[in-house]
Structure formats: structure tokens, C-alpha cells
Chains A and B, each alone.
Chain A
Amino acid sequence: MNQPDLRVSIGTLVFKNPVLTASGTFGYAKEFAPYVNLHHLGGVVVKGISLEPRRGNPPPRIVETAGGMLNAIGLENVGLDCFIAEKMPYLRGIGTRVIVNILGDSLEEYQALGQRLSEVEGISALEVNISCPNVKKGGVAFGTDPAMAEAVTRAVCAQTTLPVIVKLSPNVTDIAQIARAVEAGGAQAVSLINTLLGMAIDVRSRRPRLANIVGGLSGPAIKPIALRMVWQVAQAVKIPVIGIGGISTTEDALEFLLAGATAIEVGTANFVNPRASQEIIEGLGRYVTENRLSGISEVIGGLILD
């Protein structure tokens, strides 16, 4: 029997299937090697990297909520030099596309990351996390202002030869407006959504459950919101959309593809079921076969509105 065709294209990049793993939920891939055949994945988006190592927030950093979790990790990461020296050699051998998520507190930091990573072998694309505050512009997050989102996109694109995916924050009034701005800035794709800002309180101690007080909500609880935003953005831009937000099963992934996503990222589900991404790939294959489709790309944007 023929293998089902799960290939999708994002700009000039062809992925063997549309299932990637979301930044911050899959480490630097090695952590999941005991559980997943990494080369089966469409791609891996590694933990967000900044120019300098970051210590992250004090604990407690996570709390479980109904159907989800809040996190305030604070972008702890090993920093660019350590990432290139110690993480990339392994990543070059995993047999799938590696996308590096980058973050910074100024345009210059994003530019430097884009430039340095262009020179590193084995990277397929950059995913730009624009949820960080711009310290030089009064701490407003790049991702919540269309002009700043466009500026940071343009700045990274000017400094890198790699395709640029911009990861959008859902903590805005009109995400389609931000998506159009980063498209105008030269992004080859957008990915969404990042976590939704939330909070939890311990009623006995009357204190916040996170040391950071607020944190990002992820997991199945946010899926309907993510799906709605992906659908809205897919209609607003011409560049490909990568869907993220609570995707845990094949059916979840299919919903995002139908809403217009070209690919998806599995996030929090990796913590719960380390094999989730692989199981979704297998499920998508069965869906293509059972429905006698020419390939998974037939599903993309296939939502029927009567």
C-alpha cells in the first residue's frame, strides 16, 4: 500500500508532515528521544533562545488548572553560544527540520540572533517570539502593537537568510491586525497562538500560585480560542499559518488544518503524552487513507460554511 502523502509546504520549505513540536515543550529534542522517533516528526521548534543565557523566573513556575496549565518559566534558556555549541550538533542528526525560536528585549537583539543563526548549519527556519517586552520602548510587548510587530519582523528578515515565522500572542484585541502587520514586515509564515495570560490564587494562603503572579495558560483548555484565532488569521493573510494551542489528538490537528492552518505545533500535550506528536502523524495518515485523499494538503482550509 502507498504511504499517505502528508507533505506540506511553508514558503520554500517542504515538511514531510504538518506536525511540529512547540517551543518550550520539547526541550532541545534529545529529551524526547526515548519516547519518539524524532525523524518521523515534521519538525522540531526548539526552546526559545536569547543572545545571553537567561535564568528565568523564581519558583513556583507552574500550576495545573482545569484542562490546562499556567506557566511562568520566564524564558529560561542556555543562551545562543551554548545552544550553537552544545545543542546544535545533536539537532543536526535528528533527521527532521529544526526551527529555532528566538527572543529578545530590543530590535538589536533580534537582529543579532537572526544574523548569527543564519551562519549555523542545520537550521531550516526561525520562529520569532514577539511576546517579549521591548525594554527600550518602555517595556510594551512587541507582539501587542502592530507597528512594533512589523518593525521587529522587518529587522529580523533584513539580517537573516533563513525563512522567518513570527509567533503571535493572543493577548491582543485583534490578532488578524498583528498578523497583517508581520506579513507586511516580510514574514514567510505566522504561528499562533502563544499562551493566554492567566492567574491562579491559593485561597488558603491568599497568595498567587505563581511567584510571577501571572502566567501563560496552555493545554486543551485554550484550544477553542486558538482555533478561532487561526481561522481569523488564515482569512486575513496570504502567508501560511501554523496552528498552535491545546492540540493533543489527531482530531484536534485536523480541526486546525480545516480552519486554514498549513501545519500545527503540539505543545503542552508533549508533557502529558510524550508520544502525542507521533500519534497525531499516524492518525493523519489514517485519515488521508480512509478518506481517499490525494494528500493531507487537501484538508487545509477545507472548512465548509453553509
Chain B
Amino acid sequence: MNQFEEQAEIIRQEQLSPEIFRLTLKAPEIASHALPGQFVMVRTTPCYDPLLRRPLSIHQTIGNQQVQLLYKVVGKGTRLLAAMTSGHHLNLTGPLGRGFAFKNQPAICLIGGGMGIAPLYFLAREILRVTTPPKCVVLLGGRTAAELGPLPRDFKDIGVTEIHIATDDGSLGHHGFVAELLPQHLDSGQWTVCTCGPHPMMKAVVGQCRQQGWQCQVSLETMMACGISACLGCAIPRADLSGPYLHVCKDGPVFKAEEVAWL
């Protein structure tokens, strides 16, 4: 198993908007093994309060040395993370879980909402590095233009030519939800859709994909204590609501949309 525990030095902590931060860490083992869609468990303090590690998806790796994380301050753990500066060390375990599957899709669409954008950037970069799909569309949603910050630009810089934005307040792009962009920007071809974001957004995306017969992969988030399938805390029901539960940390976090229940 290619999993590692690393005492990672913080190279850079950038505040992208009032609540959103981008953290660059030196973690060579994790960086050289990570795949798009995988995550790390971050220990936010060497003490035991808050107790549990925080699962964060990998925003990108830089060379085979650095790991970048994108996160929003939502509670005590992420507030502690945001207070750390370069030179500090953080304990990481990873890379964990099953990432996105991508190979030679003729048309691929990535749909991210809020912090769900984090793993999609890594995915877009890898897709464009290993193949040149004839069509690659990125749809990004956020509450405000400020929340999205430099992210649309980042996708453009790695060669994504078609990016569309939706914001809840209309401050950038479409005034509304990002899932509403699908019908107008995706033609009736055979698309592969990869999505990560709030549950209602993904549910709306999955519904449209099902109607169109498009393949759809979703990256899910749950409460999680260990990240290595020991605690079994991250159970989610299967699509048919029977049989053993799936576990987000090991069976996911990326699933085929049809594997899981959309309640």
C-alpha cells in the first residue's frame, strides 16, 4: 500500500479570500504517489483538541516534492491550519482513497462547487498532461466572485479553454447554481462528467447525467475519523439501499454516480 505518514514543512500559506486558503507543503512521499481525487488526513495540532485529523483532497502536487491543499475555514481545526505559516510542520497521512478514473475520454466536463473545486484542478491538470481530449469543459460555482478568487484563472493557465462560472450572488458569471450551466454548455455528445461539491449540487448534476446517459463520477465527503478504513465511520448507503455500506475513505471518495444512493 502506497500510504505514508509525513511531517510536512509548510512552504507557503496563501489567503485567497476571507475564508479560503491554499497551503503548499513539502511532502515528497505523498507528492510522488498521489493521484487526482485522492486525499490526505491532516493533523491540525500536535495536541488532542481538536482530536481528529481533517480529510482534505489534494489540490495538486508540484513536482514530486510538494502537495497543495485548498481549504475553507469552517471550524476549530481549519482555523488552526489557517494560523500556520511557512516553516511550521504539519503531520499528514496519505495519499488515501480511490481517485478519478480518466483515460482518453473524447469529451470531459469537470463541475466543481465551492471547495469541491480543489480536487478538480489536480484532475484537469493531469488530464491535459496525459491526453488532449477534443473537448474539456470546466464549470465552477461559488457563493461569490471573491470566494472563487484566482481559481478560474488557474484552470485557464493550465490550458483549459472553456470555463464557465456561476455565483450565488451573480457577482461573476451566471447568477445561480453551477448545475444550471450544464444544458447550455454541453452538447448532446457522449460526455464524461466529474463532479465535487455540495450534496444538492452533485445530486442535480447526477440527475442530468442520468437523463443524458452520460458517465458521471462524484467525489464525496463525510465525517471521517481515520481515513484508512479502520473506524468505519464514513459509511454511505449503496444505490439499492441494501447490502453492506460503502466506505468513503476506501471505496471512494470518488464513486461512479450509479454506485451510491442519492437521497
User: Chain A 68-82, CB within 8 Å of chain B: the 1/0 string?
Assistant: 110101001000000
A274 / chain B contacts, CB cutoff of 8 Å: 5, 93, 226, 228
Q: Would you give the 0/1 interface string for B230-261, flagging 1 where the beta carbon is closer than 8 Å to chain A?
A: 11111111000001110000000000000000
User: For A33, what are the chain B residues with a Cβ–Cβ distance below 8 Å?
Assistant: 1
Q: Is B26 an interface residue (CB 8 A)?
A: no
Q: Give the CA-CA distance A42 to B93 in the complex, in Å.
A: 24
Question: Which of the segments B46-54, B59-67, B169-177, B207-215 contacts the partner chain?
Answer: B46-54
**Contacts of A256-293 to chain B: CB distance below 8 A:** 268, 270-275
What's the minimum C-beta distance from A34 to chain B, rounded to whole angstroms? 4
CB pair A59 B235 closer than 8 Å: yes
One of A63, A76, A248, A273 near B235 (C-beta < 8 A): A76
| Interface assignment of B229: CB less than 8 Å from any CB of chain A | yes
Report A94-117 CB contacts with B as 1/0, cut-off 8 Å.
Answer: 000000000000000000000000
Complex Cα distance A240/B49, Å? 32
Residues of A within 8 A of B228 (CB): 27, 31-32, 274
The answer to whether B245 and A31 touch across the interface, beta carbons within 8 angstroms, is no
In the bound assembly, the distance between CA atoms of A27 and B249 in angstroms comes to 13
Given contacts A270-B226, A273-B43, A220 and B48 within 8 Å (CB-CB): yes
A15 CA to B49 CA, complexed, in Å: 32
Taking the closest CB of chain B, its distance from the CB of A212, in whole angstroms, is 12
Chain B CB within 8 A of A139 CB: no
Query: Is the C-beta of B181 less than 8 angstroms from some C-beta in chain A?
Result: no
Is chain B's interface secondary structure helix, strand, loop, or mixed overall? loop
Q: Are B236 and A272 in contact (CB under 8 A)?
A: no
* Stretch of A5-13, A50-58, A140-148, A298-306 on the interface side: A50-58
Q: Distance in Å from the Cβ of A186 to the closest Cβ of chain B?
A: 31
* Residue A219 is within 8 A (CB to CB) of chain B in the complex: yes
Minimum CB–CB distance for A209 against chain B, Å: 9
- Say which residue of A32, A35, A53, A73 sits within 8 Å of B232 (CB atoms): A73
Query: A69 is contacted by which of B43, B52, B244 (Cβ under 8 Å)?
Result: B52
- Judge whether A34 and B3 touch: CB under 8 Å: yes
A7-51 interface mask toward B, CB cutoff 8 Å, 1 = contact, 0 = none?
000000000000000001111000111110000000000010000
Q: How far is the CB of A1 from chain B (nearest CB, A)?
A: 27
- Distance (whole angstroms) from the CB of A231 to the closest CB of chain B: 22
Residues of A within 8 A of B237 (CB): 58-59
In the complex the two chains form, what is the Cα distance from A68 to B48 in whole Å?
8
Q: In the bound complex, do residue A64 and residue B231 qualify as a contact, i.e. CB atoms below 8 Å apart?
A: no
CB distance from B173 to the nearest CB of A (A): 30
Given A27-B230, A35-B3, A59-B245, are A271 and B223 neighbors across the interface (CB < 8 Å)? no
Let me know if A34 and B1 touch, CB within 8 A: yes
Q: Assuming the A-B contacts A55-B244, A55-B245, are A25 and B230 also in contact, with contact meaning beta carbons closer than 8 angstroms in the complex?
A: yes
Contact with B along A155-186 (1 / 0, CB 8 A): 00000000000000000000000000000000
Would you call A87 an interface residue if the criterion is a C-beta within 8 Å of the partner chain's C-beta atoms?
A: no
**CB-CB contacts below 8 Å: B1-33 with A:** 1-5
Q: A55-B244, A76-B245 are in contact. Are A275 and B5 (CB under 8 A)?
A: yes
Interface residues of A in 129-158 (CB under 8 A from B): none
Which A residues touch B163, using CB under 8 A?
A: none
Q: Are A272 and B53 in contact (CB-based, < 8 A)?
A: yes
Tell me if B232 and A56 are in contact (CB < 8 A).
yes
Assembly CA distance A291 to B5 (angstroms): 31
Q: Is B146 an interface residue (CB 8 A)?
A: no
Contacts of B5 in A (CB 8 A): 34-35, 274-275
Complex Cα gap A55–B237 (Å): 10
Taking A73-B231, A271-B225 as contacts, is the C-beta distance between A66 and B49 under 8 angstroms? yes
Kindly report which residue of chain B lies nearest to residue A75, judged by CB atoms: B232
B132 within 8 A of A: no
B222 contacts A by Cβ under 8 Å: yes
Contacts A62-B223, A69-B225, A272-B43 given; indicate if A31 touches B230 (C-beta within 8 A). yes
Which one of A25, A60, A65 contacts B231 once the chains associate, using CB atoms below 8 Å?
A25
Let me know if A67 is at the binding interface, CB within 8 A: yes
Across the interface, name the chain A residue whose C-beta is closest to B224: A62
Chain B 49-106 residues near chain A, CB threshold 8 A: 49-53, 91, 93
Closest to B241 in A: A58
Once the chains bind, are B51 and A68 in contact (CB under 8 Å)? yes
> Bound state CA distance, A220 and B49, in angstroms?
9
Inter-chain pairs besides A272-B51, A274-B93, 12 sampled, C-beta below 8 Å: A24-B232, A33-B1, A34-B3, A35-B93, A55-B244, A59-B245, A65-B51, A71-B233, A76-B232, A76-B235, A219-B51, A270-B226
11 A–B pairs (Cβ distance < 8 Å), ordered by A: A34-B4, A61-B232, A62-B224, A62-B231, A73-B232, A76-B244, A271-B225, A271-B231, A273-B43, A273-B91, A274-B93
Chain B residues close to A by CB (< 8 Å): 1-5, 43, 48-53, 91, 93, 222-226, 228-237, 243-245
Smallest CB-CB A-B distances: 3 pairs: A62-B233, A27-B230, A34-B3
